[in-house]
């Protein structure tokens, strides 16, 4: 009798703990979203039928020397991809070296992933594109209306150092492309120049990941930090802040350069790039 009572109590406790776990799992994502992570985009959306967009991401998959996996932050590639696709555009996905694009596994965790990431998991077309990304050296950037630079910690190791990327962006920009991106992706503009041969970012209003966010996340081992590098290159850097900048959101349009502060800005940046490229309202 005593054993049955003990078993019954154990089952009640287990059931209660399971119920609490389910409630927490269901409640936390909307709470985190309300705090500012991956907010629902409620702005105007645009279309550019048969326009062409190029999304560029990192090939770097290791953070420092501690062997921690990194790469592109999921939503910084998936959000613009699906917004461009819904904008009736053709979308290519490329990287510095071509081939597989590594994703930061942290970005797919329950509280960090976005609806766009879930969509990719059910999309064999995008899966093939990120597993077999195009090599930037073999692409003609002048054939694109939009050139979007995805971020993530991995981008701090290759986008800002690639002279080929800088040259290709310069050629695309001179041909009339709208360029930009989010987060660490904006490092890819550092080697680009305008039509007069001046640094593309010099004197331009641009946002990207802040030094404050880098410090708050305790990931300062990357060789480049967007705010620091962009300021040093002459950009008029601006941003928003929050109790943690990871939850902040800021988007800047300066001519044909559109930039977003971090992972929260992807959908807005994508739609504003379509608008600037000549798109019309959906």
Q: How many CB atoms lie within 10 A of CB 146?
A: 28
What pLDDT, in 10s, does the model give residues 239-252?
999 999 999 999 99
Sign for the pseudo-dihedral over CA of 136, 54, 171, 264: negative
Q: Are 227 and 211 in contact (CB under 8 A)?
A: yes
CATH number of this structure's domain 45-281: 3.40.50.880
Distance CA 241, CA 60 (A): 28
The per-residue pLDDT for 165 is: 98
The percent of residues above 90 in pLDDT, for the chain, comes to 82
Cβ neighbours of residue 124 under 8 Å, at least 6 residues apart?
none
| Lowest mean pLDDT, pick from 16-20, 45-49, 173-177, 241-245 | 16-20
Model pLDDT for residues 75-101, shown as the tens digit of each residue: 999 999 999 999 999 999 999 999 999
Give the per-residue pLDDT at 67: 78
Structure tokens at 107: 């970005």
DSSP line for 165-204: HHHHHHHHHHTT-EEEEEGGGGGGGTT-B-TTSSBTTTT-
């Amino acid at each position: 009798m005593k054993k049955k009572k003990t078993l019954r109590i154990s089952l009640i406790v287990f059931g209660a703990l399971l119920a609490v776990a389910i409630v927490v799992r269901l409640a936390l994502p909307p709470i985190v979203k309300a705090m500012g992570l991956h907010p629902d985009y409620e702005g105007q959306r645009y279309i550019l039928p048969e326009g062409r967009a190029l999304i560029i991401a990192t090939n770097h998959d290791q953070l420092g020397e501690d062997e921690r996996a990194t790469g592109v932050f999921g939503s910084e590639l998936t959000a613009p991809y699906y917004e461009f696709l819904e904008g009736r555009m053709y979308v290519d996905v490329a990287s510095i070296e071509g081939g597989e694009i590594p994703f930061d596994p942290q970005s797919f965790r329950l509280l960090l992933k976005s609806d766009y990431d879930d969509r990719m998991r059910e999309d064999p077309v995008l899966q093939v594109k990120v597993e077999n990304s195009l090599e930037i050296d073999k692409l003609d950037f002048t054939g694109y209306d939009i050139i979007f630079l995805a971020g993530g910690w991995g981008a701090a190791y290759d986008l800002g150092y690639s002279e080929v990327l800088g040259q290709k962006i310069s050629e695309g920009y001179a041909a009339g492309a709208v360029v930009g991106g989010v987060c660490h992706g904006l490092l890819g503009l550092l080697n680009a120049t305008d039509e007069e041969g001046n640094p593309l970012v010099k004197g331009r209003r641009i946002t990207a990941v802040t030094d404050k966010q880098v410090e708050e996340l305790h990931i300062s081992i990357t060789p480049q930090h967007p705010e620091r590098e962009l300021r040093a290159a002459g950009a008029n850097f601006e941003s928003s802040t929050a109790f943690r900048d990871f939850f902040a959101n800021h988007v800047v349009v300066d001519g044909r350069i559109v930039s977003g502060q971090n992972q929260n800005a992807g959908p807005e940046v994508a739609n504003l790039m379509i608008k600037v490229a000549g798109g019309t309202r959906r």
